[in-house]
């Protein structure tokens, strides 16, 4: 269990957004926009190509944490639970990375990757909901929070039907809590009507 937590956290802690920004010569994401290292801030600061790369890397971190943990304990009846713990650790690592002074992103993409590795059908049902909300509101945080809150419900229904698992539900619940916590400032701006909409771009200073 401990190695799985450590591996999951360290994988999640790899600051994809910071690395992509620096390789692209466009500065440190933590110095611009929302100061977060995830896809939305990368889109505003670095543009769509770099943001897509950040998204893929962040998804991969969550999926890798779960799959590595499960493969290390393939014969163990609790392998799925260890995978859920490792996936949660990856979300924590992404959100509070030891490599960048415990700063990070909001955990949505990494949580999506982790949950996709455990319950692909849950993610397949959550994504259309998020896409519709982004299309209608142009506010990514609304879709992120709604998707995070919907995922445990969807995973639980699927588990009841035999199409998912209880560990996947536990991962979805943990992810929802962490994601909502990381969106506290967004929730305040939503209440005040000052939340940024998709398409509002922040210029990045050269590194």
Residue 205, domain member (yes or no):
no
137-168: per-residue pLDDT in tens?
A: 999 999 999 999 999 999 999 999 999 999 99
Q: Give a yes or no: residue 47 inside a domain.
A: yes
Prediction pTM value: 0.92
88 found inside a domain: yes
Domain for residue 200, yes or no?
no
Domain annotation covers residue 14? yes
Kindly report the backbone phi and psi dihedral angles of residue 36, in degrees, each rounded to the nearest multiple of 5, phi listed first: -90, 165
| Boundaries of domain holding 6 | 2-192
Q: Is residue 125 part of a domain?
A: yes
169-199 pLDDT tens trace: 999 999 999 999 999 999 999 999 999 888 6
Domain count across the chain: 1
Asked if residue 202 belongs to a domain, the reply is no
């Amino acid at each position: 269990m401990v190695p799985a937590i450590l591996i999951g956290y360290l994988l999640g802690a790899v600051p994809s957004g910071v690395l992509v920004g620096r390789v692209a010569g466009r500065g440190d994401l933590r110095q611009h926009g929302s100061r977060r290292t995830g896809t939305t801030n990368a889109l505003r600061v670095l543009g769509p190509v770099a943001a897509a790369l950040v998204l893929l890397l962040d998804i991969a971190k969550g999926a890798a944490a779960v799959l590595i943990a499960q493969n290390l304990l393939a014969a163990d009846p609790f392998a799925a639970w260890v995978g859920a713990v490792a996936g949660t650790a990856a979300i924590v690592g992404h959100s509070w990375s030891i490599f960048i002074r415990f700063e990070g992103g909001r955990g949505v993409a990494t949580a999506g990757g982790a949950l996709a590795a455990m319950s692909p059908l849950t993610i397949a049902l959550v994504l259309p909901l998020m896409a519709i909300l982004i299309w209608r509101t142009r506010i990514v945080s609304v879709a992120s929070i709604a998707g995070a809150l919907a995922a445990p419900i969807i995973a639980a229904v699927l588990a009841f039907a035999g199409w998912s698992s209880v560990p996947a539900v536990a991962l979805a619940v943990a992810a929802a809590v962490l994601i909502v916590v990381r969106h506290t400032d967004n929730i305040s701006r939503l209440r005040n009507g000052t939340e940024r909409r998709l398409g509002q771009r922040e210029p990045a200073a050269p590194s």
